[in-house]
Structure 1
Amino acid sequence: MNDISIFFALIGGVLSFFSPCVFPLLPAYITHLTGGKIENAKMQVNRTKLYSRSIGFIIGFSLVFIALGASASFIGQILMDYRVLVMQLAGLLIIIFGLQMAGLLNFKFFMKEKRIQAEYPSKNIFGSVLLGMAFASGWSPCVGLALSSILLLASSSDTLGQGVFLLGAYSLGMAVPFFIITIVISYSLKTMRKINKYLSKLAFLNGIIMVGLGFLVLSGQLQKISAWLSAYSLFSL
């Protein structure tokens, strides 16, 4: 597995969390996870529940994302004889998805939501895992575009394990800020209001990064850069 692919997957996960489709909904997810409520611009939650159920939620969406990565890699292995074509098609689609995320394209069918809503608060960590799986299974549009880009990258990977590792990195990219920001805003929502101001800029940045990734995959430069980095690492040892 090359470092540059992992970097793109990790950054894609971080920026997916800070997307306009996910980040503003964080207080609702937290209250749903813990059974807490918001009063006077402050969250009233049980912090023990918050920590354990946030971890459960992270496990839930990570399981689904990694399973999707394994599936994409498996399909890619079946189409190994058409590897160059798969990579070119993946690169082209990643570029289109990136332009959509950056707001430079406006294909409405990309923005259709398939969001699964849970009607009742989770009562234990198992319920939180299920809620995380529901979130991952019914992602909102901007997460879907970033995730699809990483899945396309996974489909062009050399092995099944590499695809799983890529989506593991993507999940980690979402998990770390989710856990940190969840704890921070449970004390004060002011931080969330400040971050909200920059969400459109982060979405644009996410799109530009994905466009860059798409061009690297389409041109075959991603593999060349990865090979160069691997050779440099061996030489530096």
Structure 2
Amino acid sequence: MTDVGLLFAFTAGILSFFSPCVFPLLPAYVTHLTGGTVENAQLQVERNKLITRSIGFVLGFSFIFIIMGASATFLGKIFMDYRWVVMQIAGVLIIIFGLQMAGLINIKFLMMEKKIQTNQKPKGMFSSMVLGMAFASGWSPCVGLALSSILLLASSSDTVNQGMFLLTSYSLGMAIPFFLISIAISYSLKAMKRINKYLSKLSFVNGMIMIGLGLLVLSGQMQKISAWLSAYSLFQF
């Protein structure tokens, strides 16, 4: 399995979390998730409830993302005879998504937003998982571009397992900062206010990473780098 692809997916997950579509809404997500309130510049909530429901939420969106990865790879295998064409199309689309994310172009239909919302507050880990699944199934513009790029990469993977590993890596990239910052805002919201100032720059960085990924896929260098790294990898998927 491509170590480069996993690194790209993990990085894309982190930067997706810190996108203007997700990060500023974190207090609202967490208060809805836990039933807590924001008072005195901190989230007032029982920490045990925060931890268990955050874990449930993370498991929910990770499950959907991983299923998407498996599906994308399965579809890619159907067109295995046209693998080169698929990779060229994927590379071009990833570059376009990266340019859009970096703010260098503005294609309006790429910014269309679809959300699945629920007004019912979770009452335990299972309902938190359902909310996480709803979050993953709703496409916001920023997350959708990064996620679509990783799904395109998964579609050119050799096996379904490889596609699942890619999306697992993407999910971890979103899950780790989500969990850590959810805990942090139960102490203070000051860190969020500081990070908010840099969101536009992080979006640009994410776009540049996607453009780099697209160029590697388009030129065929992704496979060459992956083959070189796999010779030295301790893990073979």
Structure 1 length as normaliser, TM-score?
0.97
Shift of 1:8: 0.4
Query: Aligned-pair distance for 1:120?
Result: 2.0
Is residue 65 from structure 1 mapped to residue 65 from structure 2 by the alignment? yes
Alignment RMSD (CA, Å): 1.0
Opposite residue 85 of structure 2, the aligned amino acid is L
Structure 1 residues 233, 176: closer, same or farther in 2, change over 3 A? Answer: closer
Shift of 1:233: 4.9
**SS of the residue 2:38 aligns to:** strand
Aligned twin of 1:46:
46
Provide, for residues 130-163 of structure 1, a one-character-per-residue CA deviation record: whole Å limited to 9, x for no partner: 0000000003110000000000000001111100
1:42-75 deviation line (CA, Å, top 9, x unaligned): 2111111100000000000000000000000000
Counterpart in 2 of 1:145? Answer: 145
Q: Which amino acid aligns with 1:175?
A: A
Letter of the structure 1 residue corresponding to residue 13 of structure 2: G
User: Any unmatched runs of 5+ in structure 1?
Assistant: none
Rounded Cα–Cα distance in structure 1 between residues aligned with 2:179 and 2:112: 27
Taking the aligned partners of 1:144 and 1:116, their CA distance within structure 2 comes to: 14
Q: Which amino acid aligns with 1:212?
A: G
Which secondary structure does the structure 2 equivalent of 1:116 belong to?
Answer: coil
Q: Give the secondary-structure state (helix, strand or coil) at the position aligned to 2:185.
A: helix
Q: Using the TM superposition, give the Cα deviation of residue 16 of structure 1 relative to its aligned residue in structure 2, in angstroms.
A: 0.4
Q: Which amino acid aligns with 2:116?
A: I
Matches within 5 A, 1:51-130: 51-130=51-130
Does residue 12 (structure 1) correspond to residue 7 (structure 2)? The answer is no
SS in structure 2 at match of 1:20: coil
Pair 1:3–1:186, CA change in 2 (3 A): same
What pairs up with 1:87-236 in 2 under 5 angstroms? 87-233=87-233
Q: Could you state the TM-score of these two structures normalised by the residue count of structure 2?
A: 0.97
* 1:230 shift after superposition: 2.4
Which stretches of structure 1, 4 residues or longer, exceed 6 Å deviation after superposition? none
Inter-partner Cα distance in structure 2 for 1:231 and 1:71: 28
For 2:72 and 2:233, the matched residues in 1 are separated by 29
Secondary structure in 2 matching 1:38 = strand
Equivalent position amino acid for 1:173 in 2:
G
The letter of the residue matching 1:164 is: M
Provide the secondary structure at the position in 1 that maps to 2:43. strand
The residue aligned with 2:3 is: 3
Structure 2, unmatched stretches of 5+, are none
Matched residue SS, 1:187? coil
* 173-182 vs 38-47, greater mean Cα deviation: 38-47
Amino acid in the other structure paired with 1:46: E
Q: Shift of the alpha carbon at 1:231?
A: 3.2
- Give me the whole-angstrom Cα distance separating, in 1, the residues matched to 2:162 and 2:184: 33
> May I ask how many residue pairs the two structures share in their alignment?
234
Q: Distance in 2 between matches of 1:189 and 1:233?
A: 41
Read off the aligned partner of 2:39 and give its amino acid letter: E
Percent identity over the alignment?
72
